[in-house]
A and B are shown apart, each in its own frame.
Chain A
Amino acid sequence: QSVLTQPPSASGTPGQRVTISCSGSTSNIGSNYVSWFQQLPGTAPKLLINRNSQRPSGVPDRFSGSKSGTSASLAISGLRSEDEADYYCAAWDDSLSGYVFGTGTKVTVL
C-alpha cells in the first residue's frame, strides 16, 4: 500500500528537464529523509538519491533531489534516452515503523 503520492507519468524530449513530485505526511517525509530509486525494465531498483539530495557514487549529477515540508521532488536535467524508467520515492514512516514508497512515475523520453 503506497502512502506517498507521485504523478503516474512524466515525459520530455532529449535535453529537457523533467521534475517528479512526491507528496507525503508529517509521519514520513515531514520527519525523515527521502530517497529516490530508478527501476529500469526487468531490473531491481537502484538508489538514485538518499538523504533528500545526496547522490551515491556513480549517479550522474543530472539527477538532483530536494525536500520541503511534507513533499519532495526529483529533477532530471539533460534528459537522455537511457533515463526512460520507473522512478519511486520512499521514506521511513514513524507511525508504521517501516518504509513507505511512492506510487511510482513512469518517465518517457519522447
Chain B
Amino acid sequence: EVQLVESGGGLVQPGGSLRLSCAASGFTFSSYSMNWVRQAPGKGLEWVSHISSSSSTLSYADSVKGRFTISRDNAKNSLYLQMNSLRDEDTAVYYCARDAPALGFWGQGTLVTVSS
C-alpha cells in the first residue's frame, strides 16, 4: 500500500524558514516523480513544485520560485521542501503527492502557519 506521511509543519514568523519532509513507503520511491501541493485555509489546491525521479528536473510555481527548494533522498525514501523567506500567503496545508498516475497518491498534509 502506498503511504506518504508529511511532517515539519508549524508556526513560523514572516521571513522565517521551515523544512517539510515526506516519508514514502509501499512502492519503489526512486522510480517516481513527486510533487508538493498546497491549500490555503478555505481555498483551492495550488501546485507548488515537482521533482523527477532522479532529481534531474525541478520545477516551481511562480509564487514560490527563488524561495522554495524541492529535493529528495532516494536512499531514505524521502521528499523535502525547504521554504525560505516565508510570507503570510504561504500559510496552507502542504501535501506531497506521487505521480504515475499524475498526482495519484497523496499524503494527509502538514499545516504551515506564517504569522507574527
With A98-B50, A99-B47, A101-B45: A47-B59 Cβ-Cβ less than 8 Å: no
Beta-carbon contact of B103 and A99 below 8 Å: yes
The answer, among A2, A50, A100, for a CB contact under 8 Å with B104, is A50
Interface residues of A in 1-57 (CB under 8 A from B): 1-2, 33, 35, 37, 39, 43-47, 50-51, 54, 56
Beta-carbon contact of A37 and B63 below 8 Å: no
With A37-B103, A90-B102: A45-B46 Cβ-Cβ less than 8 Å: no
User: Which chain A residues border B47 with CB–CB below 8 Å?
Assistant: 90, 98-101
Q: How many A-B residue pairs lie within 8 Å, measured between CB atoms? A: 71
With both chains docked as a complex, state the minimum distance between the C-beta of B5 and any C-beta of chain A, in angstroms.
Answer: 11
With both chains docked as a complex, state the minimum distance between the C-beta of A72 and any C-beta of chain B, in angstroms.
Answer: 13
The answer, among B60, B101, B106, for a CB contact under 8 Å with A46, is B106
- Asked if A70 is at the interface of the complex by the 8 Å CB criterion, the answer is no
Q: Mark A88-108, 1 if CB is under 8 A from B, else 0.
A: 101010001111111110000
Q: Size range of the interface on A?
A: 20 to 34
- Asked if B26 is at the interface of the complex by the 8 Å CB criterion, the answer is no
With A98-B50, A98-B61: A104-B44 Cβ-Cβ less than 8 Å: yes
Beta-carbon contact of B101 and A44 below 8 Å: no
The answer, among A1, A56, A99, for a CB contact under 8 Å with B63, is A1
Beta-carbon contact of B102 and A99 below 8 Å: yes
With A44-B95, A99-B50: A51-B101 Cβ-Cβ less than 8 Å: yes
Q: How far is the CA of A101 from the CA of B45 in the complex (A)?
A: 6
Q: Which residue of A lies closest to B97 (CB)?
A: A45
Cβ contacts A to B, 11 pairs, < 8 Å: A1-B62, A44-B108, A44-B109, A45-B37, A45-B45, A45-B106, A47-B103, A96-B62, A98-B61, A99-B47, A99-B50
Residues of B within 8 A of A (CB): 35, 37, 44-47, 49-50, 59-63, 95, 101-109
Residues of A within 8 A of B (CB): 1-2, 33, 35, 37, 39, 43-47, 50-51, 54, 56, 88, 90, 92, 96-104
